[in-house]
Each structure stands twice: as structure tokens, then as C-alpha cells.
Amino acid sequence: MIDSHGHPITDGGGRLELSAINVELASDERSRERRRQSGPSRLSHELLGVRLAEYLGCSVPELPEAREKASRDWPAYVRGLFQASGISGLVLDPGWDLSATTSAAASFHELIGCPVRPILRLEPLIDRLIGEGAGAAEVLGAVEQAMHDAPESGYYGFKTIIAYRTGLAVDPTVDMAMAERSLRETADLPVRRRGKALRDLILRQALGWSAELELPFQIHTGFGDSEIRLAEANPILLEELLRTPEGEAATILLIHGSYPWHEELAYLTLAKPNVHAELSMFNLYAVASVADRMEKVLELAPTSRVLCGTDGHGHPETFWFGALLIQEGWARLRDRWAQQGARPSWLEQVGADIMEANTARLYGF
């Protein structure tokens, strides 16, 4: 498969603490200790531990030592996991360190042994400029410049995490005066909650620029790490934005299966020919229902606009585990639909499209 959404690997080998694979961000010792205690009680932790022990040929209690030993040759260990996962390409969201992006993609490619296509996340630039006291026009201009420079800088698309900032209820009617005012009126708030009107204005324009550049645009929807306000991450909140000329022109991917709003995502993908459904992340955490969640999207949405990913991050095992579960989920769903009468050749085509061809088409693999 080609992984339609993942992040850099920050691990470098050694013992693996499974409870660190979590959506909770707090990094103080007390929170870590609580995560260590509750981790083993989560099904995703249990299944990842069992699968990984199987892969390493040890028992679950032996896992930390076995992983430490197996990962001594780190590049070989990572490559082995990627080969076993069937991942043959990756769309990379490098996250925060924009300066290192192209070199990060190159070294990442080297490490995992398959092609990597980085995408440009807009918020690091927007947040930095807001934090430095820039005006609305300056921030908008900087985003325009960065997006137009993106292809030459080695980016294959864009991403916004506005869901983590001021939410997906984007007002497409805001103008520059409102954007400017929104900065002044929120001066006392943390940067991430500042300038809703400005962020809304930027996103509408950015969709227009991505359409001009013919590069796809990922929008974070649904759950994520504990910084998100889930009530602001429902993809249905994007409806007004998606009705604008920019919202209709861009190639938009709503990512993470919009968990838990799969049906809303499916409807948007069905109703809007430029919207794509990207299925990653829930496979890492909601591990028992992957096939059911995929079905909620795939029974309604055109399968030519559904992409499968892992949201792998930090530890290479997350890519491997996410890829295995989503491929198993599809295998289960394929059997279900075969029993309902779908033809084998049609099912084969759907599998090839959602696992590989749709992502390859959008990101030029």
C-alpha cells in the first residue's frame, strides 16, 4: 500500500514503551506514570504488544528486551518493519520543523526504503507570525508566498490543522478588516486560539491557491491528540467553506476518517466531487472496528476518492501496525461485500484504488 498520511520517526531504537503510543500529550512525570499504568488496559496496547511479540519471536513480557536487541541495527529494523507492512510509499506531514523538511524527507526515504512525498503544513508559519505580532495582510502574504514556493521546495501538497486552532466552523464571508480585528481582539489568548477570522480568511484563499497549483490539500478532521477540541473538529462544520468557489476548486482530503464522524465524511465525499476521504489514525486506536469504520465510508463514498493511511508517527511500529490493521480491515470488508454479491473483479479494483492508486494519482508516486 501507499500510506496517504504519516509523520516522521523520532525514535532511534532501544526498549519500546508501548504506553507512549497514545493521544495524550502531557509530558510531566505524573502524566507519564498514569499513562504507563493505564496503557496495558487499552485494547490497542494489548494487540500491538501481541502482534509485535509475534513479529519479534518473543513473549509479550519479553518485548522490551527483544525490541532493544532487534533494533540495535536501527535502519535494518525499520526497513524490516516497513517491508513487513507492505508500505511502498508515504505522504509525509513533517509537522513543525519546516526548515528541516526536505532533508527530513530525504533521510526518511533513506531510512524506510520507499519514496516519501512531503506536504507543507500551514500553521507553523501562521502561528509564528501571529506570535511575532504580524498584521493580517502580512500573514496572508507570507502564506501565499510559502504555498507558491512549495513545489520548488519539494512539497507535493498542503495540510491545515485549523481544527486544532480555531476549529472547522470556517466563516467564508470574513474580510481583511475582520481578520485584522480578530488579531487585536484575541491578543490575550494563546497563539493557537488567536485570530479566528484571519485563519478562516487564510484557509479559503489557501484552497484557491492549492487549486491553482494543482496540489492536494489535507484538512485535519475528527480526533487527534489531546490538544484538540473535538466539538470543533466535525467535518460537517466545513460545509459553508466547501460551497465557496475555492472550496469547490481545490482537491481536498478530509483526514483520519473524520473519526467519529465517518458517515458525515462519507456524505461529503459522495456529494462533493473534489472531496476525498482519507482513512488513517483510527486504525491505530480503535483497533477492533477497523472494517466497520471503513465500511461506513466506503459503502457511500465513491471508492475512487478514498485513500488508506496509517498516521504512523514517532515509532516505526505505528506505521507497521496501522498498515496491517487497515489491510486486514479491507480484507474482512471485501469478504462481506463478496457475500452480498459484489463481483471479485470490482472488489479487486476497489482494493487497488484505496490502498494505492488513489494516493499515487494525487501525490505523483
Binding footprint of Zn ion on the chain (CB under 5 A): 311
- What's phi and psi for 166, nearest 5 deg? -110, 5
Least distance (Å) between residue 5 CB and Zn ion: 6
Least distance (Å) between residue 114 CB and Zn ion: 18
Which residue number places its CB atom closest to Zn ion? 311
Least distance (Å) between residue 235 CB and Zn ion: 15
Q: What angle do CA 141, 272, 244 make, to 5 degrees?
A: 35
Find out whether 320 and 85 touch, Cβ atoms under 8 Å.
yes
CA nearest neighbour of 219 among 158, 274, 171, 264: 158
Least distance (Å) between residue 3 CB and Zn ion: 11
Least distance (Å) between residue 121 CB and Zn ion: 10
Question: Which of 5, 194 has the CB closer to Zn ion?
Answer: 5
CA nearest neighbour of 85 among 328, 321, 351: 321
Least distance (Å) between residue 7 CB and Zn ion: 6
Least distance (Å) between residue 323 CB and Zn ion: 14
Question: Which of 55, 217 has the CB closer to Zn ion?
Answer: 217
Question: Which of 282, 330 has the CB closer to Zn ion?
Answer: 282
Question: Which of 215, 219 has the CB closer to Zn ion?
Answer: 219
CA nearest neighbour of 242 among 260, 213, 264, 224: 264
Question: Which of 208, 235 has the CB closer to Zn ion?
Answer: 235
CA nearest neighbour of 272 among 252, 293, 297, 295: 252
Separation between Cα atoms, residue 261 and residue 253, nearest integer Å: 15
- Classified as helix, coil or strand, 323 is helix
Least distance (Å) between residue 93 CB and Zn ion: 6
Question: Which of 6, 247 has the CB closer to Zn ion?
Answer: 6
DSSP result, 190-234 = -GGGS-HHHHHHHHHHHHHHHHHHT--EEEE-S--STT--GGG--
Separation between Cα atoms, residue 24 and residue 35, nearest integer Å: 8
Question: Which of 71, 221 has the CB closer to Zn ion?
Answer: 221
Find out whether 14 and 99 touch, Cβ atoms under 8 Å.
no
Question: Which of 237, 281 has the CB closer to Zn ion?
Answer: 281
Which parts of the chain are beta strand (E)?
Answer: 2-9, 89-92, 116-118, 120-121, 158-160, 217-220, 252-255, 275-279, 306-308, 312-314
Widest pairwise Cα distance in the chain: 63
Least distance (Å) between residue 70 CB and Zn ion: 26
DSSP secondary structure letter of residue 6: E
Question: Which of 200, 311 has the CB closer to Zn ion?
Answer: 311
